[in-house]
Structure 1
Amino acid sequence: MTTFAHDPKQTEEVLELAGGAPLVIKLLEGTQGLGVVLADTDRSAKSVIEAFRATKTNILVQEFIKEAGGTDIRALVVGGKVVAAMQRTGAEGEFRSNLHRGGSAKIIKLSPEERSTAVRAAKSMGLNVCGVDMLRANHGAVVMEVNSSPGLEGVEKASGIDIAGKIIEFIEKNAKHGATKTKGKG
Structure 2
Amino acid sequence: MSNWGIPIPETLFSIDPDDIEQQIDLLGGAPLIIKIQEGTHGLGVILAETKKSAKSIIDTFYKMDTNILMQEFIEESNGEDIRVFVIGDKVVASMKRTSGNDEFRSNVHRGGRTEAVKLTSKEEFMAINAAKHIGLGVAGVDLIRSKKGPLLIEINASPGLQGIEAATGVNVAKKIIQFVERNCRKK
Q: Which residue of 1 aligns with 2:137?
A: 128
Unaligned runs of 5+ residues in structure 2 are: 1-9
1:166-181 equivalent positions in 2, closer than 5 A: 166-176=175-185, 179=187
CA distance in 2, matches of 1:167, 1:151: 12
The runs of at least 4 consecutive aligned structure 1 residues that moved more than 3 Å come to none
TM-score, scaled to structure 1: 0.90
Is 2:118 aligned against 1:109?
yes
Identity between Structure 1 and Structure 2 (%): 52
Q: Please, what is the CA RMSD of the aligned residues?
A: 1.5
Q: Which residue of 2 aligns with 1:183?
A: none
Give secondary structure in 1 for the equivalent of 2:13.
Answer: strand
Q: Which residue of 2 aligns with 1:14?
A: 23
Whether the 8 Å CA contact 1:25–1:59 is kept in 2: the answer is: yes
TM-score, scaled to structure 2: 0.89
Whether the 8 Å CA contact 2:14–2:67 is kept in 1: the answer is: yes
Q: Which residue of 2 aligns with 1:24?
A: 33
Is 2:113 aligned against 1:73?
no
Shift in Å at residue 92 of structure 1? Answer: 2.3
Equivalent of 2:160, from 151, 155, 168? 151
Whether the 8 Å CA contact 2:108–2:162 is kept in 1: the answer is: no
Unaligned runs of 5+ residues in structure 1 are: 180-186
Q: Which residue of 1 aligns with 2:65?
A: 56
Whether the 8 Å CA contact 1:4–1:14 is kept in 2: the answer is: no
Q: Which amino acid aligns with 1:27?
A: I
Higher relative contact order (CA 8 A, sep 6+): 2
State the number of aligned residues. 178
CA distance in 1, matches of 2:69, 2:79: 19
CA distance in 1, matches of 2:114, 2:93: 12
Give secondary structure in 2 for the equivalent of 1:127.
Answer: coil
Q: Which amino acid aligns with 2:114?
A: A
Shift in Å at residue 19 of structure 1? Answer: 2.5
